[in-house]
Amino acid sequence: MEQFVVVLLAILVASILNILLKSLELPTAIGYIFTGILIAAGLGENSESKALLDHISELGIIFLMFTIGLEFSFAELKAMRKQVFIYGTLQVALSALLFALLAFYLFGFSQKSATVIGLALSLSSTAIVLKMLNENGDIHSGYGRKVLGILLFQD
C-alpha cells in the first residue's frame, strides 16, 4: 500500500510541476526531466518505490514510441532508407570523430577512452527528440524527416 501512495504522490507532484513548467513555456521534455530529478531526490533511499517508478517510466517511454510509430507507415519508412543510412552514418561518424578528438587532444584521455567517449556522445535520445519534434509539429517537415532518419540509424 505504501508504494501505491508513493506512486500516487509522485504522479500528483509531476502533474502539478509540469503544469507550472508549461506555463513558463519550457519544453515538456525538460519539465519531465526536472520533475524526475525532484521526485528522485524526494524519495531518498526508498529503493522499492524507485524501482516501481522505474518500471512505470519504462512504460511511459514505450507508449511514447508507440504513439509516434502510429504516425508512420512502412511505405514512409522504406522511402526514408536513404536518409537513414546517409544522414545517420554522417552524423554518427562525424560527431564521434569530433568528440573523440576533443577528448584525446583537449582533455588528455587515452585513444581507447577517447573513442568510447566520442561514440557515446555522438548518440541522441530518440524519445526526447521525437517528443519535441512532435510537440512543435515538425515531425513531418523536411528536417524532421532527416532527424528521424538519423535517430533510426542510431537505434
Whole domain around residue 133: which residue ranges?
74-154
30 and 89 part of one domain: no
pLDDT-derived band of residue 146, with 50, 70 and 90 as boundaries?
Answer: confident
Residue 137 in 3-state DSSP?
Answer: coil
116 and 61 part of one domain: no
61 and 78 part of one domain: no
Number of domains present in the structure of the chain: 2
Backbone angles phi, psi at 35, to 5 degrees: -65, -40
Tell me, what's the pLDDT at 109? 96
Q: Which three cell numbers stand for residue 74?
A: 512502412
What is the number of other CB atoms lying within 10 angstroms of the CB of residue 10?
A: 22
pLDDT-derived band of residue 96, with 50, 70 and 90 as boundaries?
Answer: very high
Q: pLDDT per residue over 31-77, tens digit each?
A: 788 888 887 787 777 677 778 778 888 888 788 778 777 777 788 77
80 and 143 part of one domain: yes
